């Protein structure tokens, strides 16, 4: 994984951003919080050891290659900071947690680009799913596809009770197929039957439906989401780190190992799938549908 991190840092430097300027958590110790990089705002409270990572890739927090690169660097800094034990993942975009993978990264690009993009998506999943820190998702907006995957990587999910929001793995609605490790993550969260139905139909659930199947752990009024996340975090942090971390690894390692064993072929599968004319056509139609829906 170290090699991937070096590649990501190189990418970020090429883009003109300077990841090394601030201390872990996006601020220098003892200095006023400041933004390390543009699309992910991180604030670490050194008195609690809890960081809030706010996704700010406006308008919809789509997971572009640049965003994923910044996200990974921010997460790694926190992971390496002994003063940080927990992360609350949330959104700074109104009404959207994350719109999932950036469709423009999967459309009309070269095979090399698709491979680089997919490696970054894999890396995001590997890092977040295996994080040693306690991770709590404060889902303050809609969270389709890759957004739902990010939330499912966390240890606990709290969603705002807003009937306009939805969450789920809706890939089949775009004419694409969720990869096996998306499927595995959902099976580990809600079980086999609910995953089978969700994935085949590309279901997006309202907050009460998501809560009913266990896709989210708790619903709260929108204004209480951050305070509830902080309260849940302190319950999880009351458990000794080493015991919790070993238990988490015991639960998640077999799933992680499955991707690690097939990482290259998973990239090749993605590239050969996404470059098919029929898939490119489906994505184009889906984007047109999104625009028409807006009127
Ligand atoms: N990627 C890129 N751009 C997006 C995305 C996205 N995922 N979602 C929305 N946008 C764009 C819209 O096109 C629009 O652009 P513009 O202003 O230029 O027209 C802008 O963001 C705002 O979008 P909306 O007007 O639709 O905003 P709303 O607030 O009305 O709705 C939603 C927000 C609910 C997020 C809505 O945009 C939506 O449903 N988006 C699509 C979400 C989605 O289906 N994502 C799935 C992505 S695929 C994925 O994550 C996993 C793929 C697995 C790989 C499969 C292997 C082959």
Q: Active-site residue 101, yes or no?
A: yes
Q: Which of 70, 76, 123, 171 is catalytic?
A: 171
Q: Which of 101, 126, 128, 149 is catalytic?
A: 101
Q: Decide if pLDDT at 152 tops 70.
A: yes
How are beta strands 50-55 and 86-91 bridged, if at all?
parallel
The per-residue pLDDT for range 24-65, each reduced to its tens digit, is 334 333 333 434 458 999 999 999 999 999 999 999 999 999
Token pair belonging to 74: 């921010």
> Which SS3 state, helix, strand or coil, does residue 44 take?
strand
Q: Decide if pLDDT at 274 tops 60.
A: yes
Report, as an integer, the average pLDDT of 161-183. 96
Q: Decide if pLDDT at 2 tops 70.
A: no
CA of 200 to the centre of ligand 1 (A): 20
Residues 6+ apart with CB under 8 A from 105: 64, 65, 113, 114, 117
User: What's the CA gap between 160 and 90, in Å, rounded?
Assistant: 11
The per-residue pLDDT for range 87-119, each reduced to its tens digit, is 999 999 999 999 999 999 999 999 999 999 999
- Asked if 162 and 207 touch (Cβ cutoff 8 Å), the reply is yes
Name the H helices within the chain. Answer: 2-14, 65-79, 111-129, 146-153, 180-190, 192-201, 207-213, 225-237, 241-261, 263-274, 277-294
CB of 67 closer than 6 angstroms to any ligand 1 atom = no
Instruction: Please give the pLDDT value at position 17.
Output: 42
Token pair belonging to 126: 């590997």
- Going by alpha carbons, the residue nearest to atom 6 of ligand 1 is 102
Q: Quick one: which of 101, 116, 99 has its CA closest to 58?
A: 99
Instruction: Please give the pLDDT value at position 57.
Output: 97
Instruction: Please give the pLDDT value at position 211.
Output: 98
Can you give the pTM of this predicted structure?
0.91
User: What's the CA gap between 104 and 151, in Å, rounded?
Assistant: 22
How far is the CA of 245 from the CAs of 85, 236, 241, 248, 278, in angstroms?
11, 11, 6, 5, 43
Instruction: Please give the pLDDT value at position 293.
Output: 85
Count CA atoms within 13 Å of residue 281 on its CB side. Answer: 3
CB of 179 closer than 6 angstroms to any ligand 1 atom = yes
CA of 164 to the centre of ligand 1 (A): 15
Instruction: Please give the pLDDT value at position 38.
Output: 82
Q: Active-site residue 214, yes or no?
A: no
Report, as an integer, the average pLDDT of 77-93. 98
The fraction of the chain above a pLDDT of 90, given in percent, is 84
Q: Active-site residue 171, yes or no?
A: yes
The fraction of the chain above a pLDDT of 70, given in percent, is 87
């Amino acid at each position: 994984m170290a090699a991937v991190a070096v590649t990501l840092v190189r990418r970020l430097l090429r883009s003109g951003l300077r990841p090394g300027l601030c201390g872990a958590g996006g601020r220098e110790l003892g200095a006023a919080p400041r933004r390390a990089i543009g699309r992910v705002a991180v604030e670490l409270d050194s008195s609690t050891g809890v960081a809030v990572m706010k996704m700010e890739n406006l308008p919809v927090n789509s997971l572009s290659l640049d965003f994923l690169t910044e996200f990974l660097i921010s997460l790694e800094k926190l992971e390496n900071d002994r003063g940080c034990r927990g992360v609350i993942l949330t959104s700074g975009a109104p009404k959207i947690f994350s719109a999932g993978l950036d469709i423009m990264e999967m459309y009309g690009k070269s095979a090399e680009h698709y491979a680089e993009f997919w490696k970054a998506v894999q890396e995001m999943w590997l890092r977040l799913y295996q994080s040693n820190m306690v991770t709590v998702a404060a889902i303050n907006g809609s969270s389709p596809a890759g957004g739902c995957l990010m939330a499912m990587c966390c240890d606990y999910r709290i969603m705002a009770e807003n009937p306009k929001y939805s969450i789920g793995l809706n890939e089949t609605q775009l004419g694409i197929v969720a990869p096996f490790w998306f499927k595995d993550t959902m099976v580990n969260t809600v079980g086999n039957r609910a995953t089978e139905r969700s994935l085949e139909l590309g279901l997006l659930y309202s907050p009460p439906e998501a809560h009913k199947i266990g896709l989210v752990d708790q619903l709260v009024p929108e204004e209480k989401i951050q305070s509830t996340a902080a309260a849940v975090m302190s319950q999880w942090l009351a458990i000794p780190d080493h015991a919790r971390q070993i238990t988490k690894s015991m639960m998640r390692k077999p799933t992680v190992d499955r991707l690690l064993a097939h990482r290259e072929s998973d990239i090749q599968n993605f590239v050969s799938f996404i470059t098919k004319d029929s898939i490119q056509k489906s994505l184009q139609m889906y984007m047109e549908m999104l625009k028409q829906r807006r009127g």
